[in-house]
Chains A and B, each alone.
Chain A
Amino acid sequence: MNFRRLTVLSALTVLGIYAALIASLAYFFDRTAVAGALTSERILFSIQLSLVASTVATGLAMVIAIPAAYALSRHRFFGREVVDAILEFPIIVSPAALGAILLIFFNTPVGEWVQTHLIRFVFAFAGIVLAQFVTILGIAVRFMRAAFDEVPEEYERVARTLGATPVRAFVTVTLPLARRGLIASGVLAWAKAMGEFGATITIAGTMAMRTETLPIAIFMRLSGADIEGTVALILVLLVIGLSALYGARYFLRDRHHA
């Protein structure tokens, strides 16, 4: 077997593994269960909660990630290597541990003060957003930095010599040129937030009609041995996530060729 065939086979193996896992859902697929899930007020709440929380978390992450990624891509500054390394923190620490760390923080005097005087996070909507936010922030910065790295700094430099301030050079040149990468990073971060479970359940709990996100709803169905219901919710999550990813890819490809 030549090298090309070996690498292509590896790529197809990746597809095979995930396709087999998804195909296994068909064994317990029940049309009635899916219909029931899509009409259940509790499940619809979970879907809505997940969509809103992940969108807010992604929006907040983007607000910090875009300038942070730009700084990491363009500037050398004190602590840059540490910042770069800490981006992997949510990946290294398990989601449950991340949630536990958040819970511990809110049991410190500072955390308690925040909870009392600013926003209540534990067992609340804000906790879901926070859990998703801290989970995706590092990934968002990492991906967005790659997007900025793709844009040669020379464009900004020329823009500066043509009269643009640093902010205007960023807005009129760098941002449009990094647009595809940034949107792709945002969509990926959003999909990751949609599927976030460990940190969310640790800090926000599993309260139906309050903090039960779609992944938590899946877990609750599985805990109750409702396999058909679990499969239905997994398919809902899968459709939402894949639609977003393929939608973004199609949108970006379409715009690129326009």
Chain B
Amino acid sequence: MLEIDQLCVRAGGFRLSGISLRAALGRSHVILGPSGSGKTTLLETIIGFRHPTSGGIRLSDLPLIGLPIERRDIGYLPQRLALFPHLSVRENLAYGERMRRQARGDTRRILDELVMAADIGHLLDRRPESLSGGERQRVALVRALAARPQLLLLDEPFSALNDTLRRELWRLVKALQAEHGFTTVMITHDLAEAFFMGDDITVMIEGRVQQSGVKETVWYRPATVEVAHYLGIHNLFSGVVTNGEPSAHDGPEGSRIACIECPSLGGIVSIPQPAGAPTWRSGSAVTLGIRPEFVRLHRAADAVGPDELLLDGRIAEVWATGAETALLVQCQVPSTPDPSAGKSRGTPSLIELRIGAGALRDRIFVTGESIQISLPTKDLFACSDPAPPPADEGQSGAP
């Protein structure tokens, strides 16, 4: 397991502050964040290219700070791959064994297996400059894994490839990981790549960990507005918690219900809080959100469930990508009495929904068209802005 505790790093004018995360053995941990968020600085510190000002890094209980890079047992796949241009593919692959001199007994067998799995046997006598982009990636991956590192660090190595090649390499990394059991930490700013590759996801913004947890938790229940924005969620509505205390009668199977006054959604919205979600104090300001793919187009014939918010609106914008159609809907929120504040007016809001191209193939959407949309309350999440509240496991912190 890779354990990072309260790591602080200074890199020129940039700082990483109090970074803590865990990457469990055999799991794939993706560090996600925009450019300049400190992902690469963190990766370089784990490898040993940078020295932290404080904090600790341990790999399988071995402290890495102060340990020479060559003794850290970490494989590294950089963005530009860095295949040695003066060596053949075969020499590149054998470089690690040559440097370690004392080869591990089954190094050769492992290398042969990796070469076969990555299908690069026919490239061994070629020079890196003569390889295609995908071939270079595969060679660099096998070279990094040939020494059987405990941990493989990937620094956006697939960002320059087309979609087909990228998916092929994602599958290859996953297959090799399943076969050899190494841990991976991958940095990327690509959301699809993060979701496919990661078992766990850490979102970093401006040198800080905003949220870290199992993929589904981070993806579907962002802890902060910044994380939600970064994950492409713009359906965010300000609200105030009216009662967030756990109660015995609330929710099935011990889950809790948070009641949030949200004028943009027509009044008080009750959302189930999964186990491990933060406890909100009454009166605290929160932001409600929902992923656009969870917003549904409501048809007249559809029944409205008790856990759905039904909203009328007009299509403000339509754009289709071929795979899906995205609608931006200007909602007319019904006026509802507000028992806590005495207000009775809702605030119109723009809500984005995405419909898979196969779902409504013959439906043509027109700007200005009146439609109804529904928001399942089970898919709504509450998050804080800017800092997350004290959290227990699952929503924030270690997976």
Interface residues of A, Cβ cutoff 8 Å to B: 152, 154-155, 157-165, 168, 172-173, 176-177
Contacts and interface: CB of A to CB of B under 8 A. Distances in A.
Contacts of B49: 157
Contacts of A162: 70, 95-96, 99, 143-144, 147
B95 A165 contact: no
Given A162-B96, A163-B70, A157 B86 contact: no
Contact of A152 (B72, B74, B80): B80
B96 A157 contact: no
B86 A177 contact: yes
Interface string B87-117: 0000000011001100000000000000000
Contact of B100 (A158, A160, A163): A163
B143 A155 contact: no
Nearest to A162: B96
A88 to B, nearest CB: 27
| Interface band, chain B | 20 to 34
A168 B47 CA distance: 18
Given A154-B78, A168-B99, A161 B70 contact: yes
B76 interface: yes
B173 to A, nearest CB: 17
B68 A157 contact: no
Contacts of B84: 155, 159, 173, 177
A245 B74 CA distance: 44
Given A157-B76, A157-B78, A161-B69, A176 B95 contact: no
A176 B144 CA distance: 21
B85 interface: yes
A172 B48 CA distance: 20
A158 B83 CA distance: 9
A173 B76 CA distance: 16
B192 interface: no
Given A164-B70, A165-B68, A157 B99 contact: no
A158 B70 contact: no
B75 interface: yes
Closest 7 CB pairs of A and B: A163-B99, A162-B96, A160-B69, A163-B100, A161-B76, A164-B99, A158-B82
- Quick one: which of A158, A159, A164, A176 has the most chain B CB within 10 A? A158
B108 to A, nearest CB: 15
A161 B154 CA distance: 13
Contacts of A172: 95, 99
B147 A163 contact: yes
Contacts of B144: 161-162
